[in-house]
Structure 1
Amino acid sequence: MKMIRKVMAKQLLIGEALKSAAHNVPDKEAFVFEDQRLTYQELLKRTLHLSEWLQGRGIGKDEKVGCLFKNGLPFVELYFGVSLAGGVFVPVNFRLVSNEVDYILNHSDVKILFIEEEFIETIRDVVEKLTQIQTIVIVGSPDKDLGKDVISYHSIYDTPTINKSREQLSDDDAHAIIYTSGTTGRPKGAVLTHKNLYMNGMNKLYHSQTKKGSKHLLIPPLFHVAALSLLVQNCLLEGTMFIHREFQPVKVLKTLHLEKINSMFLVPSMWNFLFQVPNLLEYNLSSMTSCSTGGAICPVEIKKKIMTVFKNAKIHEAFGQTEMSPSTTYLSGEDSLRYNKTASVGKPSINVRVRIVDDEMKDVPLGEVGEIVYQGPTMMKEYYKNIEATKEAFKGGWFHSGDLVRMDEDGYIYVVDRKKDMIISGGENIYPKELEEVLYSHPDILEAAVIGVPDVEWGESVKVCIVLKPGKQLTKDQVIKFCQSRIASYKKPRFVQFMDSLPRNASGKVLKTVLRSYGHETNFIN
C-alpha cells in the first residue's frame, strides 16, 4: 500500500493536487458556493468518502461516471471524487435536449449518473434507452419512478464506506471525456488524461502569474473544459474559488466587492454585459489583479474597457480547444494594445509546440495562412471509441486543430478562418452541420446552410439560409421553434434567410463565403 502511495505521488494526478493542497493548507477555504464554504480538509474528507462509495459501486480505472449538473459544490465534489476513485468523469452540457444527452451517456458507457432535480424530466424522456446506467444519483428529491436504482446525493455521506485499495494509476490514464460537437452531426468525446489537465493548470499559472492563495470567481459552466480546468488550477494555487451557479452581472459585481476577489474568467460577451450595469463604478473593484477572457476573440473595445474599469488588473486572453485541455496560446492585453496585436490570439503556451502547416504537413512561410497543429502534454489521448476520427486528428503525429491561422514576424498568431466553419456565440461552440441535419429533417425544407454572422453582444450569432420545397411556406418563428425542439436552445438560429437557391461551386459544394458576404439584406429576417 505504501509503495502504491509513493508511485501515485510521483504522478501528475488530479486527486493528488487536492491532497497536496489539503496537506499544505488544510484550514484554508477551498471552494465557496452561496452560503456553503468548504476548507481543503473538509473537501478532501467528502471527496474521499464519495470515492469510496463509487468504488463500492464498481467504479475504478476506466469506469465512467456522468453528471448533469449546473455549477455548485456537488460538481466540485464529484469531479475530485471520481478522480480519487480512479474513474473517468463525463460532464454533460445541461443545455442539451433529451436525445442529445441520451447519445452522450450511451456512447461514453456511463455506469453511474449524477443529476440535479431540475433535470429529472430530461432523463425521464430517455431513461429506457440508458441500458448501461446502473444507478442515478439525484441532488434534491429522488424520483423513484425513473425505473432505475435511484438514490439521494446527500444520503451518500450518511452511508458507511470501506477504504479500498485503488488500482494503480498513471497520469497518462483517462481522467475525463469532454464531448465536443463534430461536423458529422454527432459529438466526439475527447479523452483527456490526468496529465493533460494538470499541465494545463500549470501553464495557466505560468502565463497569468497569479499569486499563491488568490481568490478567484468562477462563473462559466463547469461542463466546459475551460472552466473545469480552473478547479485544478485553484488547488495548485492553494487558493479560494467562489462559484456562481449562473451569470448574473450585478451578483458578480457584489461578489467582487464584498469578497475582495483577485481574478475572474469571463467570455467576451459576459464582460460586455457586465459593463452594462448602470452603477458599475460604485463597486470597489480594486482587489482585482487579473481579468481573463477566452472562448471567442475579445474585441479591443472590451479590452480597453476592462483596463479602464479594473485599474489594478492585467488582462489575459487564452485561445485553444477542448482537445488541448484547452489553452494553446496566450495574449497579454497590455502587449495586445501596446504592440498593436489586438487581432492576435497571442503566442504559444510554454508547454505547447505549434506549427502552421499546409495540407501536406509542410510548414508555411511566415505570414502565410495554414492550419495550426499542436503537440505537448496537454494534447488529448484520443476520441473515445472513434478510431478513424483519432487517426485523422493525429495525422503526421500532430493534433490538427482545424483552425486556419497565420503568424507575424514577432511570433503572434492570428486566426483567419475555421476549417470546420464552427460558430462561437457567447463562448459556446456551435457546429453548422449539426443544425443543418435538423433543418433537412423538416418536410418543407429543400436545402439549408448554416453560417455565423457578427453580433456585437455575442460575438457571433447563428444564421440559417433556407430553400423551401415548391409550394411550401414557413415563417422565421416556425423555423426557430422547429430547431429548438430538436437541439439545445443556444444552438438555435437567430436569423433566417429564405432563398431561391444556395450558391455552389462547380463540384456542388455550398459557398458559405458567398453567404457570409450577403450581410443584412431586405430578405434577411431579424
Structure 2
Amino acid sequence: MSLNLTVMLDESAKVRPQKPALVLGEEKVTYAALREASMRFAAALSSLGIEPGDRVAIMVPNVPQFAIAYYGILRAGAVVVPLNVLLQGPEVAYHLGDSGAKVLVAWDGFLEAAGRGYEEASGCGHLIVAGEKEEVPEGALGFRELLEQNPPEFETVQTMPDDTAVIIYTSGTTGRPKGAELSHFNLFYNAVCNADKLVQTSEEDAGIAALPLFHIFGQTAVLNTFVYSGNTITMIPRFEPEAVLGAIERDRITIFTGVPTMYQYLLHHPAADAHDTSSLRLGISGGASMPVEVLRRFEEKFGITILEGYGLSETSPVVCFNRSAEERKVGSIGLPIWGIEAKVVDEDDREVPRGETGELVVRGHAIMKGYYGRPKETAEAMRGGWFHTGDLARMDEDGYIFIVDRKKDMIVRGGYNVYPREVEEAIYEHPAVAEVAVVGVPHEELGEEVVAVVVPKEGARVEEEEIIAFARERVARYKYPRHVVFVDELPKNATGKILKRELDPERLGPEVRRSR
C-alpha cells in the first residue's frame, strides 16, 4: 500500500477548497491554491531532473513558500531537508553535502549564507530563490517564475509508507549534526495522533506557526497537524511576542503551540493585557521542560490549559503527552501516546523500578528509520530495538513520565548527582527571576560546581546572595548554586531552547573553581 504525506493536503483541499490554509498578514492562501502551487513546484522539480528519493533542501522561514516547497518536494517523491535559516555558509555547505541535496530552495533574506553554502557544496545542482522581491542572482532560478512556468496538475509520486519523507538534522549538541530519516508513515501518523487523539482539533480551530517550520516540532505539531485537520494556520516569520499577540487577537487563534521560552516572553510582555486573547482554548508545550511556575502563571493570566508533551527530532517528534486538564500531572510529560512504548533503564539497559531515575528509551511508529549514512550511530542509538533518548527520567506508579534532565547536562558535585532542572524549578519561584539555566563548571576539589545563570525580570533588582539563599531553602545542600551569574539574555536556538553548551565555563569566572 502506498502513502505520500501530501494526501493530508489533498483531502483538506477536496473538503474545504476555499478555506484559508495559510495566513501571513493580509495574504491568504486557500487549500485549493496551496495544493495547486505544490503541484506546480513538483512539476518544476521534475523538469529539473529531480527523481524520487533525491534530496531537496529548504532554507525558508515561516512564509507560504515553505509549505508550497515542502508539499511540492514530497509530491515529487523527493526528500525534504529543512535547514535552519540562521545557519552560516560553512554550515549550509555541510548540511547540503552530508544529505547529498541536489537542490537548495533559499529565502532571499538569507541568500548570503545560503549562496555561500551552495557554492561550497559539491553535488548541489540548482539554487532556487524565493522571497518578496525575489531578486534572483545569475545562475539561480526564481521560485515564483518556476510556479508560473509549470502546469497546475501533477500526478503525485506513489511513495511507500517506509520511504523517507524528511531528513531532519539534530542540533549537534554531541558533535556534528546527524540527519534523522523520517518516513511518510512516521510523519503522517504522528500528525494524525496529534490532531485526533491529543489536541483533538475541530473545524473551528485555528493554529499559529510561531515555531520555525524547519524544526520537526513546528512541522508536525503545527503544519502537518492543522493541514490534516483542514484548519487555518497564521504564519509568524520570526517569533516576536507583540506579533504573536496581535495575530491571536486578529485571527482568533484557538491553539498556541510553542516552547517554554515563548510562553515566558508572552507572559512577561508589557502589551499582553492590551490584546484580546480570549479565543485561545489550549496551549501545547514541548521542546524543553516547562518550568512549573511559568505554567501556573501563564494559565492564571490567560485563562487556558497548557498541556506538556515530549519528543525529539528522531521521534517525529511526539512520543509522550498529557491528555487533558483532568488527566495531566503538572511537571510531567504525560503518558506514551497511542502505539508508543516507553521505559526507564539503567546503564546496562535494564529497566529500573518505578520512581527511580534512568535513561528514557522508546519504541513504536514514530521512531526514525535511522541516521542518514551513519549505520554505526544508528545501531548505538537503537540498541535492543529501543531508541535511547539521552534524557534522564523517572516513571511513577501510574506510568506518567517526569524528565529529570539531559543525561549530558547532569552535574556530578563531590560524588553526588545534581539534576539542573530540579534546581532551576526552585529558582524560578523567585519573583525577580525571568529565566535561569543551571550548569556545572570545573572545580578543583569537587569535580564540578553548581552555577546558576540568571536573567532578572525587567526592572527587578536582586543580588547573588539572595538567589543562593532562596535556592538553599528549597533544595539539598549539595544541590544549591554556590555562584550566580546575571546576564541580559540566555543563548537560545531558533526554537527558543536554551543552549547550555554556549554558557562557557571559562567565561563564568575563576572563583567558581574554589569551594564556597
Q: When the two structures are superposed, what TM-score results if normalisation uses the length of structure 1?
A: 0.78
Following superposition, the deviation at residue 362 of structure 1 comes to 2.5
Say yes or no: does 1:410 pair with 2:419: no
Q: Show the counterpart of 1:294.
A: 286
Letter in 1 for 2:150: P
- Deviation digits for residues 405-433 of structure 1, max 9, x if unmatched? 1111121111123223399xxxxxxxxxx
Hey, what's the Cα distance between the residues in 1 that align with 2:255 and 2:513?
Answer: 38
Say yes or no: does 1:283 pair with 2:275: yes
1:334-373 matches, within 5 Å, as: 334-335=325-326, 341-373=329-361
- Deviation digits for residues 37-73 of structure 1, max 9, x if unmatched? 0111111011111111111112232100001111111
SS in 2 for 1:119: helix
Unpaired segments ≥5 residues, structure 1: 1-6, 424-450, 468-479, 502-514
Q: Show the counterpart of 1:497.
A: 506
Letter in 2 for 1:144: P
Hey, what's the Cα distance between the residues in 1 that align with 2:331 and 2:305?
Answer: 18
Q: Show the counterpart of 2:447.
A: none
Letter in 2 for 1:275: L
Q: Show the counterpart of 2:471.
A: none
Say yes or no: does 1:397 pair with 2:385: yes
Following superposition, the deviation at residue 359 of structure 1 comes to 3.1
- Which 4+ residue blocks in structure 1 deviate beyond 4 angstroms? 161-167, 451-459, 461-467, 487-492, 498-501, 518-522
In structure 2, the CA distance between the partners of 1:363 and 1:55, relative to structure 1 (3 Å rule), is same
Following superposition, the deviation at residue 164 of structure 1 comes to 6.1
Q: Show the counterpart of 1:388.
A: 376
The one of 129, 151, 158 equivalent to 2:148 is 158
Hey, what's the Cα distance between the residues in 1 that align with 2:117 and 2:219?
Answer: 27
Q: Show the counterpart of 1:447.
A: none
Letter in 1 for 2:235: I
The one of 230, 244, 250 equivalent to 1:258 is 250
Letter in 1 for 2:163: D
Contact persistence 1:183–1:420 (CA under 8 A): no
- Deviation digits for residues 226-274 of structure 1, max 9, x if unmatched? 0011211112211111111111212211211122111111211111111
In structure 2, the CA distance between the partners of 1:223 and 1:329, relative to structure 1 (3 Å rule), is same
Q: Show the counterpart of 1:460.
A: 437
Contact persistence 1:296–1:459 (CA under 8 A): no
Hey, what's the Cα distance between the residues in 2 that align with 1:15 and 1:422?
Answer: 41
SS in 2 for 1:158: helix
Between the aligned residues of both structures, percent identity stands at 31
Hey, what's the Cα distance between the residues in 1 that align with 2:509 and 2:26?
Answer: 57
Letter in 2 for 1:414: F
Equivalent pairs counted in the alignment come to 447
1:202-217 matches, within 5 Å, as: 202-205=192-195, 206-217=197-208
Contact persistence 1:463–1:495 (CA under 8 A): no
Question: Mean alpha-carbon deviation: is it higher for 407-416 or for 162-171?
Answer: 162-171
Contact persistence 2:37–2:152 (CA under 8 A): no
Following superposition, the deviation at residue 194 of structure 1 comes to 0.8
Say yes or no: does 1:144 pair with 2:132: no
Question: Mean alpha-carbon deviation: is it higher for 320-329 or for 280-289?
Answer: 280-289
Following superposition, the deviation at residue 333 of structure 1 comes to 7.1
Hey, what's the Cα distance between the residues in 1 that align with 2:153 and 2:228?
Answer: 26
Letter in 2 for 1:108: S
- Deviation digits for residues 377-417 of structure 1, max 9, x if unmatched? 11101100001001111111111111121111121111123
Q: Show the counterpart of 1:80.
A: 71
Contact persistence 2:43–2:150 (CA under 8 A): no
In structure 2, the CA distance between the partners of 1:520 and 1:30, relative to structure 1 (3 Å rule), is farther
Say yes or no: does 1:173 pair with 2:153: no
Hey, what's the Cα distance between the residues in 2 that align with 1:463 and 1:495?
Answer: 10
Q: When the two structures are superposed, what TM-score results if normalisation uses the length of structure 2?
A: 0.79
In structure 2, the CA distance between the partners of 1:161 and 1:280, relative to structure 1 (3 Å rule), is closer
Contact persistence 1:70–1:222 (CA under 8 A): yes
Letter in 2 for 1:351: G
The one of 73, 83, 94 equivalent to 1:92 is 83
Hey, what's the Cα distance between the residues in 1 that align with 2:513 and 2:325?
Answer: 33
Contact persistence 2:94–2:121 (CA under 8 A): no
In structure 2, the CA distance between the partners of 1:63 and 1:321, relative to structure 1 (3 Å rule), is same
SS in 1 for 2:159: coil
Following superposition, the deviation at residue 279 of structure 1 comes to 3.9
1:298-317 matches, within 5 Å, as: 298-311=290-303, 313-317=304-308
Following superposition, the deviation at residue 113 of structure 1 comes to 0.4
Contact persistence 2:107–2:130 (CA under 8 A): yes
Letter in 2 for 1:64: R
Contact persistence 1:461–1:493 (CA under 8 A): no
Q: Show the counterpart of 2:476.
A: none
SS in 2 for 1:497: helix
Following superposition, the deviation at residue 496 of structure 1 comes to 4.5
Letter in 2 for 1:310: F
SS in 2 for 1:144: coil
Following superposition, the deviation at residue 129 of structure 1 comes to 2.3
Hey, what's the Cα distance between the residues in 2 that align with 1:167 and 1:69?
Answer: 24
Aligned-residue Cα RMSD (Å) equals 3.2
Contact persistence 2:39–2:154 (CA under 8 A): no
- Deviation digits for residues 472-526 of structure 1, max 9, x if unmatched? xxxxxxxx9xxx9xx999858356536999xxxxxxxxxxxxx9xx69999xxxx
Contact persistence 1:356–1:406 (CA under 8 A): yes
Hey, what's the Cα distance between the residues in 2 that align with 1:127 and 1:113?
Answer: 7
The one of 180, 184, 201 equivalent to 2:191 is 201
- Deviation digits for residues 454-480 of structure 1, max 9, x if unmatched? 58545537787699xxxxxxxxxxxx9
